Structures are given as C-alpha cells and as structure tokens.
Amino acid sequence: MGMNLNSWSEQRLAGQRLMAGFDGKRLGQQLQRLIADLHLGGLILFKRNLESPRQIADLCRAAQRHARECGLPPLFIAIDQEGGQVARLGPPFTRFPGNPAIRDKADAERFARITATELAWVGINMNMAPVLDAAPEGFESIMAQRVFGSDPQRVARLGEAVIAAMQAGGVMAVAKHFPGIGRTRLDSHLDLPRLDESLRSLEAYDLVPFRKAISSRVAGVMLSHVLYPQLDPEWPASLSKPIARDLLRRQMRFDGVVMTDDLEMGAIACHYGFDAAVGQVLRADVDIALICRSAEKLRRAHALMVRKIGASQKRRAAAKASAARIMALKGQYLD
C-alpha cells in the first residue's frame, strides 16, 4: 500500500486515528458523511448494526467502496466477538461458550479458525479479541466470565493460539485489556477502576500473556480504562504516556497498533472529560481512539486532533509515526 505521509493533511492524519461506532444497518447519509468528512480509519460494529450475514456483508462492502471513492485507505472494520458473554453476532454465526470453556490449544484454535472464517466472509477484518486478562482464583473479578483462567501462563498459551489462528485466517486480533484488568472489580463502563500494584507485581502476573501476544505478532493492543497509580497516578492506561508509550512500546517493544477502549465509557466521562481524553490520546502516542456511539463526539475529536497536530512539528511527527503503524497494518491485511 504505497503512501507518502509527508503529503498527508492534518485532517487525514487525525481521521485515520478514529474508529467509529454508528447507528443503522446500512451505509446511510450520516455514515457516508462521517467517512468522507473525517477521513475515518475504521468502524466498529455492534448489535444495532447487525441483521443477517447478507446485510452485514453489504454494509461492509458499501463502506469500503465509499472509503475508496473518497480516496481513503481501506477501513478497519472491527467487532467484539469473544464468544460467551461478549459476542455481537448471533445465529447463523457459530456460538461459542466463551473463554472459560476453552480447555486447551485445540479448542482455542477451533474457536479462532471458525470465527475468522465467518468474520472474513462478511467483510469484518478485525476482532477485539482475545481477552488476555487473568483473574485470580477466588477473586470476584469483573472479568471472571470472560477470561481463559487464573494462571497467566495458561492465558498466554491459549491467547497465542487464538492470535495465530485468527490472523492466519486474515482477521486482525486485538489483545485486551492492557496491562490487565483481571484483578479489578469495578466496571469501567460505569466508573474508574484502580489497580494499585507495582510494575514488578504486574510483570509477574498481568503482563505475562501480553508479552506472549507481542512475540506472536498480535496486530493490535487495546488499553484499559483502569488507573494504575504506581505507574501513572493521573491517567488511566488508555491515556497514559508511561503505560502506552514507555511500558508497552519502549520496554515491551510492541510496534503494532495501540488503541483505547471506548472514550464514551463512564471511566473517562465521569473523571476526565472527553476533550481532555482526546488530547491525551495524542500525548500518549496512542494510535486509535474508539468512539462507539456519538457522531457529534467523533466530529469534535477530529477537530481537536486536527488543531493539535497542526500546532507543532513535534505533534505532526508523532501523528505521522502513528499513521505509519496504521498503514503498515492495513497494508499487511487489507491490500
């Protein structure tokens, strides 16, 4: 996928860093305008967008065609299809009981192989999975029904199997929720959880599966809306320079695409505010901001990013580096 990022406008550099949720099951006028006006880099689908395999395929095909007609790179089209509690696609797509029911590597590979085949069949090219959080035995984890288990080595092995099979099937895997939320009880959709553990403690437990995912060339990593005060007392992982840039990129050497969880969730809305969060995405060198509902917030985020990217050469250079990571991934999977 040829590109000259030096010639990219601030509008395009900003837009490729946005992944948008939207209403409707068709490529309506609002979605057409969002893709064209904001130079969107990706879409994320929810149950409100899904009706049947044919409808989903038509929607994805129409969105990609519209992006192409607007002179844009191909879109990431993502979904949360973990199996179990979090599975946006119902029948006739295969229903899996979820990560707690996966017994071994063969189970993990079967889930990933079938899921990748079905997602690719309808034009979805990215799955927000696997969950690589580990939840200690006997701990009332918010993630108890979504994890592979309590042993981080086992989580790492099964996660690696999912990543390999999913990506062999042409669907990008996104490991979540870095640096690990299995030891939290509070729901970040509603409020801001805290995990007051040292880096040494995280290294010994929560980070183990993510290290394996990085060595397995996972396409993306999603950051958690959780505050880790011993790593960053001010910002949650999703907006944290010490966690996103220093720990994940520099120390753990992840060179793929890094994204936030949904910036409309309560953890952000109740404690930081939307505009501050968008600015922090840029400061922390996070590649993609997820905004899963509001078209107005998408437009606001884009305008803020455009202004900040245009304000300094340093910010523009960081935006080009982010665009290069995004385009490298699109070139690998979407050419």
- pLDDT class for 240, splitting at 50, 70, 90? very high
* pLDDT of 1 strictly over 80: no
Residue 4 lies in a domain: no
Q: Verify cis geometry, omega within 30 degrees of 0, for the bond prior to 193.
A: no
Residue 178 lies in a domain: yes
- Average pLDDT over every residue of 52-75: 98
Residue 3 lies in a domain: no
* pLDDT, tens only, 77-87: 999 999 999 99
Residue 59 lies in a domain: yes
Residue 319 lies in a domain: yes
Residue 2 lies in a domain: no
State the pLDDT at residue 173: 98
- pLDDT class for 242, splitting at 50, 70, 90? very high
Q: How many domains does the chain have?
A: 1
Q: 261 catalytic, yes or no?
A: yes
Domain boundaries, position 15: 9-333
Tokens of 118: 């079905």
* pLDDT of 145 strictly over 90: yes
Please tell me which residue in 133, 206, 261, 262 is annotated as part of the active site: 261
- 4 compared with 330, residue with greater pLDDT: 330
Tokens of 275: 């505009």
State the pLDDT at residue 162: 98
Residue 218 lies in a domain: yes
Euclidean distance between the first and the last CA atom of the chain, given in angstroms as a whole number: 6
State the pLDDT at residue 142: 95
Please tell me which residue in 23, 104, 189, 255 is annotated as part of the active site: 189
* pLDDT of 312 strictly over 70: yes
* pLDDT of 2 strictly over 60: no
Q: How far apart are CA 223 and CA 175, in angstroms?
A: 9
- pLDDT class for 335, splitting at 50, 70, 90? confident
Which residues is 262 bridged to in the sheet?
Answer: 290
- Average pLDDT over every residue of 163-167: 98
Q: Are residues 221 and 288 in contact, defined by beta-carbon separation less than 8 angstroms?
A: no
Q: Are residues 113 and 66 in contact, defined by beta-carbon separation less than 8 angstroms?
A: no
Q: 225 catalytic, yes or no?
A: no
Domain of residue 253, CATH code: 3.20.20.300
State the pLDDT at residue 4: 86
Residue 1 lies in a domain: no
Q: How far apart are CA 107 and CA 333, in angstroms?
A: 25
Percent of the chain with pLDDT over 90: 98
Q: How far apart are CA 87 and CA 223, in angstroms?
A: 20
Q: Are residues 226 and 192 in contact, defined by beta-carbon separation less than 8 angstroms?
A: yes
In the block, tokens 């501050």 appear at 276
Angle between helices 29-38 and 295-311 (to 10 degrees): 10
* pLDDT, tens only, 7-47: 999 999 999 999 999 999 999 999 999 999 999 999 999 99
* pLDDT of 3 strictly over 90: no
Residue 107: CB atoms within 10 A of its CB come to: 17
